[in-house]
């Protein structure tokens, strides 16, 4: 087993390890576990082995990139040129990507090896990976339970050692919630920190590509490579990209006392599992004992977060998903059609899953002439209020801490047919996407039911280094 990229690199450079062995280790685990877990939709075996030889040579010549030694899996909504890309949807089955996402290009340039593409909820819509057109992903820690979603394949692959780290996308919690369910660090960056070019759009003003890792160091090293300005994405920020790895190491919270807020409404929430609540209260107590300044503050908008998120993201999705018409590319209905419109209707009815259809319809409704003001425009205003209130908190505090999820990983089918009970999974995570701030889920405990859970840190925009350093600190408490 490999614990971190630095460890692998150390061995590779000291000639104690061959990169091919590393790739074979992960391939071996994929062949052992993937049939049952269903994390990978496709494995790029030959390519990965071939690359390992090329990069091995570069290592010997001391010409290898910063990520040499990294074996990464990518969520199946991130474009990789000449490779299939489906967003776990039937509508894109057999579609081949014509270009690579900026994050993919940047990682490949630094000699990362992409080992395969990972299952997820269809178009990243869901919280359990039960919405994939290609089957559920099982939680490697208890196969009767879900991995969370939508980046379910990503967390399962890392958790079962089928790759070293994985990239996913977080629109409302899709990196953090499954990380909490699978005992990983799940980072969501500041909106605009990482280019979205080549990420299949779900809700463009929320989406961020981010890593899921077993440790903070790997997340920092990858973030250093994938972040930064990009001419292909006007929303990618030109804010300087620091050396995250070095910066994270340089924070010393035993000397520097922190001001931390915790949101009363989240900790007092009636749905929050008792053991998770107690763990958070203990962490608060420990931090106070270490001399940090902690204070509970009121956040009166908690009940508005999920509705605001679902109005805005479905609106954006209804527009983003309009391109899947069977005419431009991918799936087209072969049933006899009366005319073009009829063919488009048949294509979309046959190939989109139930949840995706529900969101397209909801989004179209909230944007329609008669309801625009009542829903879409109102939700935009509420988003602004949430943003302002959050910024107010950060005037006085370094971080906010709160739960990632109300419970540990649940069982398949447990949420039933009512979509709202699934949407409530996002209660503690969507806030960060609505405000565009960075957030991270930190693995902190094990429940008496045997499952892990994380707690979340929110930080001001572009404070990723300090937030990751604090995540490490919390993890080691």
Rounded to a whole number of angstroms, the minimum distance from the CB of residue 26 to ligand GLN is: 25
CB atoms within 10 A of CB 320: 19
| Contact window for ligand GLN (CB under 6 A) among 105-113, 163-171, 386-394, 450-458 | 163-171
Kindly write out the interface string for residues 452-471 of this chain, putting x where it contacts ligand GLN by CB under 6 A and - elsewhere: --------------------
Residues 43-102 that bind ligand GLN (CB under 6 A): none
State the nearest-atom distance from the C-beta of 121 to ligand GLN, in Å: 7
Residue 221 CB, shortest distance to ligand GLN, in Å, is 23
Which residue number, 124 or 294, has a Cβ lying nearer to ligand GLN?
A: 124
Question: Quick check: 456 and 442 in contact, CB under 8 A?
Answer: yes
Q: Which residues 360-379 are close enough to bind ligand GLN by CB under 6 A?
A: none
Q: What is the dihedral of CA 405, 162, 249, 295, to 10 degrees?
A: 0
Site string for ligand GLN, 415-434 (x = CB under 6 A): -----------x--------
The residue within the footprint of ligand GLN, chosen from 105, 122, 170, 398 (CB under 6 A), is 170
Contact region with ligand GLN (CB under 6 A), list: 5-13, 87-95, 172-180, 288-296: 172-180
Name the helix (H) or strand (E) containing 355: helix 354-367
Taking CB under 6 A as the rule, does residue 409 contact ligand GLN? no
Residues 68 and 471: their CA atoms lie apart, in Å, by: 25
**318 in catalytic set:** no
Own/partner pairs for 290-294, CB < 8 Å, 24+ apart?
A: 290/253, 290/254, 291/257, 292/253, 292/257, 292/258, 292/259, 292/260, 293/257, 293/258, 293/259, 293/260, 294/260, 294/261, 294/262
Could you count the other beta carbons within 10 Å of the beta carbon of residue 16? 8
- Could you say whether residue 153 binds ligand GLN (CB under 6 A)? no
Site string for ligand GLN, 315-334 (x = CB under 6 A): --------------------
| Nearest alpha carbon to residue 402 among 469, 459, 462 | 459
Active site annotation includes 75 = yes
Least distance CB 305 / ligand GLN (angstroms): 12
Contact pattern from residue 101 through residue 140 relative to ligand GLN, giving x for each residue in contact according to CB under 6 A and a dash for the rest: -----------------------xxxx-------------
Size of the site for ligand GLN (CB under 6 A): 14
Catalytic hit among 100, 154, 174, 237 = 174
Q: Which of 75, 188, 279, 346 is catalytic?
A: 75
Among 65, 73, 172, 178, binds ligand GLN (CB under 6 A): 172
Cα–Cα distance between 288 and 308 in angstroms, integer?
A: 34
Intra-chain end-to-end CA distance of the chain, in Å: 25
| Count of all residues that appear for the chain in the document | 477
Query: In what helix (H) or strand (E) does residue 279 lie, and over which residues does it extend?
Result: helix 274-289
Q: Work out which of 100, 132, 150, 189 binds ligand GLN, going by CB under 6 A.
A: 150
| Residues 284-313 within binding reach of ligand GLN (CB under 6 A) | 313
Q: Rounded to the nearest 10 degrees, what angle do helices 216-226 and 5-13 cross at?
A: 80
In this structure, the dihedral spanned by the alpha carbons of residues 356, 360, 363 and 368, taken in order and rounded to 10 degrees, is: -170
For the beta sheet containing 71-75, the strands, ordered from the edge strand earlier in sequence to the opposite edge, are 40-43, 113-118, 71-75, 165-170, 208-213, 185-188, 439-446, 452-458, 399-403, 259-263, 293-297
Element spanning 106, H or E: helix 102-109
Let me know: does 190 contact 97? Beta carbons within 8 Å.
Answer: no
List 89, 150, 151, 180, catalytic entry: 150
The contact pattern for ligand GLN, residues 183-222, with x = CB under 6 A and - = no contact, is -------------------x--------------------
Three-state secondary-structure class, residue 143: strand
Whichever of 4 and 179 has its CB closer to ligand GLN, that residue is 179
Taking the complex as a whole, the smallest distance from the CB of residue 303 to ligand GLN amounts, in Å, to 17
Looking at the annotation, which residues are catalytic? 75, 150, 174
Residues in contact with ligand GLN by the rule CB under 6 A: 124-127, 150, 169-174, 202, 313, 426
């Amino acid at each position: 087993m490999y614990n971190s990229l630095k460890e692998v690199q150390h061995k590779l450079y000291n000639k104690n390890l061959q990169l091919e062995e590393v790739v074979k280790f992960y391939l071996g685990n994929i062949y052992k576990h993937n049939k049952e877990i269903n994390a990978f939709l496709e494995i790029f075996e030959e390519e990965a082995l071939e690359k390992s030889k090329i990069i091995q040579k570069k290592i010997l010549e001391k010409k290898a990139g910063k990520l040499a030694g990294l074996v990464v899996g990518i969520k199946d909504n991130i474009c990789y040129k000449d490779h299939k890309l489906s967003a776990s949807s039937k509508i894109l089955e057999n579609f081949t990507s014509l270009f690579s996402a900026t994050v993919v290009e940047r990682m490949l340039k630094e000699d990362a090896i992409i080992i395969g593409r990972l299952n997820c909820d269809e178009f990243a819509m869901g919280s359990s990976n039960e919405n994939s057109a290609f089957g559920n992903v099982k939680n490697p820690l208890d196969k009767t339970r879900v991995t969370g979603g939508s980046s379910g394949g990503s967390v399962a692959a890392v958790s079962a050692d089928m790759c070293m780290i994985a990239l996913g996308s977080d629109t409302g919690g899709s990196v953090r919630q499954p990380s909490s369910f699978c005992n990983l660090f799940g980072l969501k960056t500041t909106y605009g920190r990482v280019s979205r070019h080549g990420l299949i759009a779900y809700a463009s003003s929320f989406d961020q590509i981010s890593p899921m890792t077993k440790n903070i160091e790997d997340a920092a090293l990858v973030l250093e490579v994938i972040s930064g300005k990009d001419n292909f994405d006007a929303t990618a920020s030109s804010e300087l990209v620091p050396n995250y790895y070095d910066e994270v190491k340089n924070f010393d919270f035993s000397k520097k006392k922190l001001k931390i807020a915790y949101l009363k409404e989240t900790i007092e929430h009636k749905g929050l599992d008792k053991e998770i609540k107690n763990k958070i209260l203990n962490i608060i107590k420990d931090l106070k004992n270490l001399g940090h300044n902690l204070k509970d503050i009121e956040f009166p908008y908690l009940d508005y977060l999920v509705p605001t998120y679902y109005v805005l993201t479905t609106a954006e999705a209804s527009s983003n998903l309009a391109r899947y018409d069977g005419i431009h590319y991918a799936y087209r209905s072969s049933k006899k059609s009366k005319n073009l419109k009829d063919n488009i209707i048949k294509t979309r009815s046959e190939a989109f899953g139930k949840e995706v259809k529900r969101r397209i319809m909801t989004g179209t409704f909230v944007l329609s002439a008669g309801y625009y003001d009542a829903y879409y425009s109102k939700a935009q205003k509420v988003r602004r209020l949430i943003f302002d209130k959050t910024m107010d908190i950060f005037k006085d505090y370094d971080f906010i801490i709160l739960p990632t999820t109300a419970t540990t990983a649940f069982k398949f089918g447990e949420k039933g047919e009512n979509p709202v009970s699934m949407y409530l999974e996002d209660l503690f995570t969507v806030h960060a996407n609505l405000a565009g701030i960075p957030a991270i889920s930190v693995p902190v405990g094990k429940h008496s039911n045997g499952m892990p859970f994380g707690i979340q840190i929110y930080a001001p925009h572009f404070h990723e280094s300090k937030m990751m350093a604090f995540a490490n600190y919390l993890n080691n408490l």
